[in-house]
């Protein structure tokens, strides 16, 4: 992917030096994600609750003071996610008003090992990148990208860009009110809560594809970039995660969608460039 470093985004919050430190959960990596998901399915608990227990920090734990770790080895990665963050948010700032809704920027929080959000409790690296609608922040431990490349076979800078664009897609849903509506429906119909979660995730995949369409239109994609994005989408499909964990695929427990579904909706956004074509709830 062609990109130009502009330093750190003004919407980036660096907490890598404010890790929970010794003891606790540490870096479980993506393998830990699989185990946590399996335990959550068996015990019918919220995965974030399990992660909080493993990390030794509950939702009431006070957030660590921001103390950025100046690691030269990671600075290029920091500048890259800053570029993608700003590029995606500039696009949505111009696109959402055409749909009748003004856009408000999200904040990207970089952390290491463990983090306490101001609205969604505690989480660790094993949870992977996530968006917290309560504080409108995206949380990423940069070690996730290494796991994505080495363990899940989805390397490349555009694969990394897809992940962040997906999380910004969740912020777009929050701004549009989609997230609140889905939460309301899940409370009313717990029997279809997982299905609604899948539709929410697939829409965020489609929104990430909309950003990829604009990046391609502006000449920033290189040969193989689209394939990198599709491999990343497939790598985090529920069916593949379950196969790697228990070896059994249980569709009724899916919360993000299959590899094929995730690739399909990312590609729809990429092919159309139109967020109105991302209605996974229709």
Q: What is the pLDDT of residues 46-103, one digit of tens each?
A: 555 455 544 444 344 444 444 556 678 889 999 999 999 999 999 999 999 999 999 9
pLDDT for the residue numbered 40: 54
Q: Which of 63-77, 126-140, 153-167 has the lowest mean pLDDT?
A: 63-77
pLDDT for the residue numbered 69: 65
CB-based contact 24:56 (threshold 8 Å):
yes
Name the residue with tokens 């070690």: 143
**Cα dist. 40→30, 47, 48, 49, 241 in Å?**
15, 5, 9, 9, 14
DSSP assigned state of 91: H
Q: What is the mean pLDDT of residues 22-48?
A: 49
Q: Which of 14-18, 44-48, 217-221, 234-238 has the lowest mean pLDDT?
A: 44-48
Question: From CA 167, how far away is CA 208, in angstroms rounded?
Answer: 8
Backbone φ/ψ region at 84: left (φ over 0), alpha (ψ -120 to 50), beta: alpha
Pick the more confident residue, 30 or 187. Answer: 187
pLDDT for the residue numbered 14: 94
Question: From CA 38, how far away is CA 31, in angstroms rounded?
Answer: 11
pLDDT for the residue numbered 204: 98
pLDDT for the residue numbered 248: 75
User: By C-alpha distance, which of 100, 102, 137 is closest to 117?
Assistant: 137
Which tens digits make up the pLDDT trace of 226-264? 999 999 999 989 888 887 777 777 778 788 999 999 999
Q: What is the mean pLDDT of residues 103-118?
A: 94
pLDDT for the residue numbered 279: 97
Which tens digits make up the pLDDT trace of 165-207? 999 999 999 999 999 999 999 999 999 999 999 999 999 999 9
Task: DSSP for 30-79, please give it.
Answer: HHHHHHHHHHHHHHT--HHHHHHHHHT--TTSPPPPP-----HHHHHHHH
User: How far, rounded to the nearest angstrom, does the alpha carbon of residue 160 sit from its chain's CA centroid?
Assistant: 10
pLDDT for the residue numbered 71: 74
Question: From CA 238, how far away is CA 232, in angstroms rounded?
Answer: 13
Q: What is the mean pLDDT of residues 123-127?
A: 86
Q: What is the mean pLDDT of residues 24-48?
A: 50
Q: What is the mean pLDDT of residues 122-149?
A: 93
Question: From CA 190, how far away is CA 125, in angstroms rounded?
Answer: 28
């Amino acid at each position: 992917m062609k990109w130009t470093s502009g330093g750190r985004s003004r919407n980036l919050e660096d907490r890598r030096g404010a890790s929970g430190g010794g003891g606790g959960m540490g870096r479980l990596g993506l393998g830990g994600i699989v185990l946590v998901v399996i335990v959550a399915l068996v015990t019918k608990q919220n995965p974030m609750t399990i992660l909080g227990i493993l990390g030794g920090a509950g939702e009431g734990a006070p957030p660590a003071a921001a103390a950025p770790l100046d690691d030269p080895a990671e600075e290029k990665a920091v500048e890259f996610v800053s570029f993608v963050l700003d590029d995606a948010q500039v696009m949505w700032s111009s696109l959402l008003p055409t749909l009748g809704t003004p856009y408000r920027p999200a904040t990207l929080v970089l952390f290491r090992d463990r983090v306490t959000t101001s609205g969604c409790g505690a989480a660790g690296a094993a949870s992977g990148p996530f968006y917290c609608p309560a504080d409108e922040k995206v949380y990423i431990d940069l070690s996730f990208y290494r796991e994505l490349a080495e363990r899940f076979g989805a390397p490349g800078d555009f694969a990394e860009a897809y992940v962040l664009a997906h999380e910004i897609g969740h912020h777009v849903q929050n701004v549009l009110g989609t997230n609140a509506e889905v939460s309301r429906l899940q409370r009313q119909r717990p029997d279809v809560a997982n299905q609604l979660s899948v539709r929410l995730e697939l829409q965020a995949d489609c929104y990430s594809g909309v950003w990829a369409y604009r990046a391609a239109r502006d000449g920033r994609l290189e040969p193989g970039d689209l394939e990198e994005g599709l491999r990343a989408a497939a790598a985090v499909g529920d069916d593949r995660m379950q196969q790697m964990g228990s070896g059994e695929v249980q569709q009724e427990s899916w919360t993000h969608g299959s590899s094929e579904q995730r690739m399909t909706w990312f590609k729809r956004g990429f092919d159309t460039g139109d967020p109105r074509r991302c209605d996974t709830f229709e």
